[in-house]
A = this chain, B = another copy of it.
Amino acid sequence: MDEVKVIEIKKSIFEDNDRDADALRVELKRKGVYLLNLMSSPGSGKTTTLIRTINLLKDKIRIAVMEADIDSDVDAVKIKEATGIPSIQLHTGGMCHLDAEMTRQGLAGVDMTGLDLVILENVGNLVCPAEFDTGAVCNAMILSVPEGHDKPLKYPLMFSVCNVVVINKTDVLPYFDFDMEKCREYIRMRNPKAQVIPISAKTGEGVEAFAQWILKEVENWKK
């Protein structure tokens, strides 16, 4: 098994996270690096989606991944083995989210030379990560079919802070009572601008659309 760098994240001392997040975005803009904050429930398929997406993008742009987790480095190892791109593990030491300063601690462990995109896989949680601006250029989230189409009603903040909602595991749609139209409607209630991209990370269906969305975002950011 590959070894990955593990960074133990310390609790932040900054009081004004929003200001700190804005400052981080300014730094990233100057360096021409796009930071994507990817959030979801545990088990929605973040890592599998990332592997598929990165393999479509890695010949076009230079990517690194930061995997935030309470414990373990299974995801960072998986990403590195399956894509060959730099992947580091951030241990939050039990903390349920990342803020801008914690994200900066992670970025300090990433070689930014010539980099276009850093993807932060946030802690699996639909509540807390939504409350803290990480300094990312954009928030994206994955909702998986087995979780149900009612989630935008129950986790309003998460859906309102995300400009793209990937709906994963469409391959199992026949086995679940998941109403895609209702889901789109509930997402629009929370965030009318949010783009909805149905995919199956397992079969690969729809992943190209997510990859294209990322590519366009990165290009615009570097202008």
Which of A30-38, A124-132, A215-223 lies at the interface? A124-132
A42-B144 CB under 8 A given contacts A70-B127, A175-B172: no
A52 / chain B contacts, CB cutoff of 8 Å: none
10 contacts between A and B (CB under 8 A): A42-B126, A70-B155, A70-B156, A70-B157, A96-B127, A124-B154, A124-B155, A125-B126, A125-B128, A127-B128
A125 / chain B contacts, CB cutoff of 8 Å: 96, 125-128
Contact of A128 among B74, B75, B96 (CB under 8 A): B96
Q: Mark A52-94, 1 if CB is under 8 A from B, else 0.
A: 0000000000000000011110110000000000000000001
| Among A123, A127, A175, A176, residue most surrounded by chain B Cβ atoms (within 10 Å) | A127
Instruction: Check A74–B42 contact: CB distance below 8 A.
Output: no
Which of A3-11, A105-113, A145-153 lies at the interface? A145-153
A147-B43 CB under 8 A given contacts A96-B127, A127-B96: yes
Contact of A71 among B69, B128, B154, B171 (CB under 8 A): B154
CA gap between A172 and B176 in the complex, in Å: 9
Instruction: Check B146–A169 contact: CB distance below 8 A.
Output: yes
> In angstroms, how far is the closest chain B Cβ from the Cβ of A1?
14
Contact of A43 among B41, B72, B75, B156 (CB under 8 A): B41
List the B residue with the shortest CB-CB distance to A92: B127
Instruction: Check A71–B126 contact: CB distance below 8 A.
Output: no
Residues of A within 8 A of B (CB): 41-43, 69-72, 74-75, 94, 96, 123-128, 131, 144-148, 150-151, 153-157, 169, 171-172, 175-176
> In angstroms, how far is the closest chain B Cβ from the Cβ of A33?
27
CA gap between A153 and B47 in the complex, in Å: 15
> In angstroms, how far is the closest chain B Cβ from the Cβ of A53?
19
- Going nearest first, the 7 A-B pairs with the smallest beta carbon separation are A43-B147, A146-B146, A96-B127, A41-B41, A41-B42, A43-B148, A42-B126
A42-B155 CB under 8 A given contacts A131-B94, A146-B172: yes
A43 / chain B contacts, CB cutoff of 8 Å: 41, 144, 146-148, 151
